[in-house]
Amino acid sequence: MNLVLMRTTPNPDRLVAVAARRCYSSRSADVIEDKISEAEIARLLDFLRQRNHLSPFEHADFSFSVDGISRALSHQLVRHRIASYSQESQRYVNYMKVDTLPFVTPPSIAAKPEALETYNKAIEQTLAAYRAMVEAGVPPEDARYIFPNAIETKLVFTMNARSLFNFFEQRCCIKAQWEIRALAMAMLKEVRKVAPNIFKNAGAPCQYASNPYCRENDPKCVMFKAMKERLYENEQTRGTEEINR
Protein backbone atom coordinates (compact mmCIF):
# COMPACT_ATOMS: atom_id res chain seq x y z
CA MET A 1 0.00 0.00 0.00
CA ASN A 2 1.30 3.43 -0.94
CA LEU A 3 -0.62 6.42 0.45
CA VAL A 4 0.10 10.07 -0.34
CA LEU A 5 -1.71 13.10 1.05
CA MET A 6 -1.71 15.10 -2.18
CA ARG A 7 -3.49 18.33 -1.28
CA THR A 8 -5.21 19.96 1.67
CA THR A 9 -7.14 23.13 2.34
CA PRO A 10 -4.46 25.70 3.32
CA ASN A 11 -4.21 26.15 7.11
CA PRO A 12 -7.14 23.80 7.84
CA ASP A 13 -7.04 24.29 11.63
CA ARG A 14 -7.30 28.07 11.24
CA LEU A 15 -10.01 27.91 8.58
CA VAL A 16 -12.27 25.72 10.72
CA ALA A 17 -11.77 27.99 13.73
CA VAL A 18 -12.59 31.11 11.71
CA ALA A 19 -15.68 29.42 10.26
CA ALA A 20 -16.84 28.56 13.78
CA ARG A 21 -16.21 32.12 15.00
CA ARG A 22 -18.25 33.40 12.05
CA CYS A 23 -21.36 31.95 13.68
CA TYR A 24 -21.01 34.15 16.76
CA SER A 25 -19.39 37.37 15.50
CA SER A 26 -20.59 40.34 13.48
CA ARG A 27 -17.04 41.24 12.46
CA SER A 28 -15.73 40.58 8.94
CA ALA A 29 -13.94 37.30 8.30
CA ASP A 30 -10.55 38.95 7.78
CA VAL A 31 -10.81 40.71 11.15
CA ILE A 32 -11.83 37.46 12.84
CA GLU A 33 -8.82 35.72 11.32
CA ASP A 34 -6.42 38.50 12.31
CA LYS A 35 -7.60 38.42 15.92
CA ILE A 36 -7.61 34.67 16.50
CA SER A 37 -4.49 33.19 18.13
CA GLU A 38 -3.05 29.68 17.87
CA ALA A 39 -4.05 29.02 21.48
CA GLU A 40 -7.60 30.13 20.73
CA ILE A 41 -7.71 27.90 17.65
CA ALA A 42 -6.73 24.86 19.72
CA ARG A 43 -9.25 25.71 22.46
CA LEU A 44 -12.06 26.38 20.01
CA LEU A 45 -11.55 23.17 18.01
CA ASP A 46 -11.58 21.14 21.22
CA PHE A 47 -14.81 22.86 22.23
CA LEU A 48 -16.44 22.12 18.86
CA ARG A 49 -15.57 18.44 19.10
CA GLN A 50 -16.76 18.14 22.70
CA ARG A 51 -20.10 19.80 21.85
CA ASN A 52 -20.44 17.78 18.63
CA HIS A 53 -20.74 21.01 16.63
CA LEU A 54 -19.19 19.58 13.48
CA SER A 55 -20.40 21.62 10.51
CA PRO A 56 -17.38 24.02 10.57
CA PHE A 57 -15.10 21.04 9.95
CA GLU A 58 -16.71 20.52 6.54
CA HIS A 59 -14.72 23.49 5.19
CA ALA A 60 -11.41 21.59 5.40
CA ASP A 61 -10.72 19.15 2.54
CA PHE A 62 -8.04 16.47 2.24
CA SER A 63 -7.13 14.72 -1.03
CA PHE A 64 -5.30 11.38 -1.03
CA SER A 65 -3.74 9.10 -3.62
CA VAL A 66 -3.42 5.40 -2.86
CA ASP A 67 -2.25 2.39 -4.82
CA GLY A 68 -1.37 -1.18 -3.93
CA ILE A 69 -4.81 -1.79 -2.42
CA SER A 70 -7.37 -4.43 -3.32
CA ARG A 71 -10.81 -4.10 -4.79
CA ALA A 72 -12.04 -5.62 -1.53
CA LEU A 73 -10.79 -2.48 0.21
CA SER A 74 -12.10 -0.05 -2.40
CA HIS A 75 -15.58 -1.57 -2.17
CA GLN A 76 -15.56 -0.72 1.54
CA LEU A 77 -14.02 2.71 1.02
CA VAL A 78 -16.69 3.97 -1.37
CA ARG A 79 -19.38 3.19 1.20
CA HIS A 80 -18.25 6.43 2.82
CA ARG A 81 -20.43 8.49 0.52
CA ILE A 82 -19.62 12.07 1.53
CA ALA A 83 -16.43 11.99 -0.51
CA SER A 84 -15.19 12.22 -4.10
CA TYR A 85 -13.53 9.26 -5.81
CA SER A 86 -11.54 8.73 -9.02
CA GLN A 87 -10.59 5.08 -9.50
CA GLU A 88 -8.46 3.18 -11.99
CA SER A 89 -10.79 1.70 -14.61
CA GLN A 90 -10.54 -2.00 -15.38
CA ARG A 91 -12.19 -1.28 -18.72
CA TYR A 92 -9.14 0.60 -19.96
CA VAL A 93 -6.21 -1.15 -18.25
CA ASN A 94 -4.57 -3.56 -20.72
CA TYR A 95 -4.23 -6.80 -18.80
CA MET A 96 -3.13 -8.63 -21.98
CA LYS A 97 0.39 -7.19 -21.62
CA VAL A 98 1.08 -7.73 -17.91
CA ASP A 99 3.30 -10.60 -16.80
CA THR A 100 1.23 -11.24 -13.70
CA LEU A 101 -2.08 -9.94 -12.43
CA PRO A 102 -1.41 -7.23 -9.80
CA PHE A 103 -3.04 -8.39 -6.58
CA VAL A 104 -3.01 -8.13 -2.79
CA THR A 105 -2.35 -11.13 -0.53
CA PRO A 106 -3.90 -11.16 2.96
CA PRO A 107 -1.32 -11.84 5.72
CA SER A 108 -3.38 -14.81 6.97
CA ILE A 109 -2.90 -16.49 3.57
CA ALA A 110 0.76 -15.47 3.19
CA ALA A 111 1.51 -17.09 6.56
CA LYS A 112 0.35 -20.53 5.39
CA PRO A 113 2.47 -22.03 2.54
CA GLU A 114 -0.21 -24.43 1.30
CA ALA A 115 -2.88 -21.73 1.31
CA LEU A 116 -0.52 -19.30 -0.43
CA GLU A 117 0.23 -21.83 -3.16
CA THR A 118 -3.50 -22.37 -3.75
CA TYR A 119 -4.11 -18.62 -3.74
CA ASN A 120 -1.35 -17.84 -6.24
CA LYS A 121 -2.49 -20.61 -8.58
CA ALA A 122 -6.03 -19.24 -8.54
CA ILE A 123 -4.74 -15.77 -9.44
CA GLU A 124 -2.70 -17.21 -12.33
CA GLN A 125 -5.72 -19.15 -13.58
CA THR A 126 -7.84 -16.01 -13.42
CA LEU A 127 -5.44 -14.10 -15.66
CA ALA A 128 -5.19 -17.03 -18.07
CA ALA A 129 -8.98 -17.27 -18.29
CA TYR A 130 -9.26 -13.51 -18.88
CA ARG A 131 -6.75 -13.66 -21.75
CA ALA A 132 -8.43 -16.70 -23.28
CA MET A 133 -11.78 -14.92 -23.31
CA VAL A 134 -10.36 -11.76 -24.85
CA GLU A 135 -8.56 -13.79 -27.53
CA ALA A 136 -11.89 -15.52 -28.24
CA GLY A 137 -13.48 -12.15 -28.97
CA VAL A 138 -15.00 -11.27 -25.59
CA PRO A 139 -14.74 -7.50 -24.90
CA PRO A 140 -12.20 -6.78 -22.13
CA GLU A 141 -14.90 -4.96 -20.14
CA ASP A 142 -16.83 -8.24 -19.99
CA ALA A 143 -13.84 -10.55 -19.54
CA ARG A 144 -12.86 -8.56 -16.44
CA TYR A 145 -15.90 -9.95 -14.63
CA ILE A 146 -13.76 -12.95 -13.73
CA PHE A 147 -11.30 -10.87 -11.71
CA PRO A 148 -11.24 -11.48 -7.92
CA ASN A 149 -11.53 -8.99 -5.05
CA ALA A 150 -7.76 -9.42 -4.63
CA ILE A 151 -6.91 -7.48 -7.79
CA GLU A 152 -5.00 -4.27 -7.15
CA THR A 153 -6.62 -0.89 -7.75
CA LYS A 154 -5.61 2.76 -7.46
CA LEU A 155 -7.62 5.80 -6.36
CA VAL A 156 -7.54 9.52 -5.79
CA PHE A 157 -10.15 10.55 -3.25
CA THR A 158 -11.13 13.60 -1.23
CA MET A 159 -12.92 13.87 2.11
CA ASN A 160 -13.67 16.79 4.37
CA ALA A 161 -12.66 16.69 8.03
CA ARG A 162 -16.14 15.85 9.27
CA SER A 163 -16.34 12.85 6.94
CA LEU A 164 -12.89 11.80 8.08
CA PHE A 165 -14.01 11.82 11.72
CA ASN A 166 -16.66 9.24 10.82
CA PHE A 167 -14.26 7.26 8.64
CA PHE A 168 -11.62 7.08 11.36
CA GLU A 169 -14.17 6.10 14.03
CA GLN A 170 -15.26 3.12 11.97
CA ARG A 171 -12.08 2.06 10.20
CA CYS A 172 -9.44 2.63 12.90
CA CYS A 173 -11.46 0.28 15.09
CA ILE A 174 -9.65 -2.97 15.86
CA LYS A 175 -12.68 -4.84 14.49
CA ALA A 176 -12.36 -3.22 11.06
CA GLN A 177 -11.08 -5.42 8.22
CA TRP A 178 -7.27 -5.47 8.31
CA GLU A 179 -6.56 -3.74 4.98
CA ILE A 180 -8.89 -0.77 5.32
CA ARG A 181 -7.77 -0.37 8.94
CA ALA A 182 -4.17 -0.09 7.71
CA LEU A 183 -5.32 2.56 5.23
CA ALA A 184 -7.24 4.49 7.89
CA MET A 185 -4.28 4.49 10.29
CA ALA A 186 -1.96 5.73 7.53
CA MET A 187 -4.44 8.48 6.58
CA LEU A 188 -4.81 9.58 10.20
CA LYS A 189 -1.03 9.81 10.56
CA GLU A 190 -0.81 12.06 7.47
CA VAL A 191 -3.66 14.45 8.31
CA ARG A 192 -2.35 14.96 11.85
CA LYS A 193 0.81 16.42 10.31
CA VAL A 194 -1.11 19.23 8.57
CA ALA A 195 -4.09 19.65 10.92
CA PRO A 196 -2.95 18.58 14.40
CA ASN A 197 -5.74 20.35 16.28
CA ILE A 198 -8.54 19.08 14.05
CA PHE A 199 -7.47 15.45 14.30
CA LYS A 200 -5.97 15.42 17.80
CA ASN A 201 -8.85 13.30 19.12
CA ALA A 202 -9.71 11.47 15.89
CA GLY A 203 -9.53 7.70 15.50
CA ALA A 204 -11.22 4.75 17.17
CA PRO A 205 -13.51 6.25 19.85
CA CYS A 206 -12.42 3.69 22.43
CA GLN A 207 -9.03 5.41 22.33
CA TYR A 208 -10.31 8.94 22.98
CA ALA A 209 -8.54 10.64 25.88
CA SER A 210 -11.85 11.92 27.24
CA ASN A 211 -15.28 10.34 26.91
CA PRO A 212 -14.13 7.11 25.22
CA TYR A 213 -16.86 4.81 23.98
CA CYS A 214 -17.42 1.73 21.81
CA ARG A 215 -19.44 2.34 18.64
CA GLU A 216 -20.69 -1.25 18.72
CA ASN A 217 -20.99 -1.48 22.51
CA ASP A 218 -19.39 -4.92 22.26
CA PRO A 219 -18.17 -6.34 25.62
CA LYS A 220 -16.43 -9.15 23.70
CA CYS A 221 -14.02 -6.74 22.01
CA VAL A 222 -10.48 -6.98 23.40
CA MET A 223 -10.42 -3.18 23.81
CA PHE A 224 -13.73 -2.93 25.66
CA LYS A 225 -12.52 -3.57 29.22
CA ALA A 226 -9.66 -1.03 29.00
CA MET A 227 -12.05 1.52 27.49
CA LYS A 228 -14.55 1.10 30.36
CA GLU A 229 -11.77 1.42 32.94
CA ARG A 230 -10.50 4.63 31.33
CA LEU A 231 -14.03 6.02 31.18
CA TYR A 232 -14.52 5.24 34.88
CA GLU A 233 -11.21 6.94 35.76
CA ASN A 234 -12.23 10.03 33.77
CA GLU A 235 -15.58 10.19 35.58
CA GLN A 236 -13.84 9.89 38.95
CA THR A 237 -11.42 12.68 38.01
CA ARG A 238 -14.26 14.95 36.89
CA GLY A 239 -16.13 14.22 40.13
CA THR A 240 -13.09 15.14 42.20
CA GLU A 241 -12.64 18.37 40.23
CA GLU A 242 -16.28 19.31 40.85
CA ILE A 243 -15.90 18.75 44.61
CA ASN A 244 -12.69 20.83 44.71
CA ARG A 245 -14.49 23.74 43.07
- Residues labelled catalytic: 171
Residue 143 in contact with residue 134, Cβ under 8 Å?
A: yes
What's the CA gap between 236 and 216, in Å, rounded?
Answer: 24
For residue 87, the surrounding DSSP H or E stretch is strand 84-87
Q: Nearest-CA neighbor of 61 among 33, 2, 22, 19?
A: 19
Contacts of residue 122, Cβ cutoff 8 Å, sequence gap at least 6: 148
Report the SS3 class of residue 204: coil
DSSP assigned state of 6? E
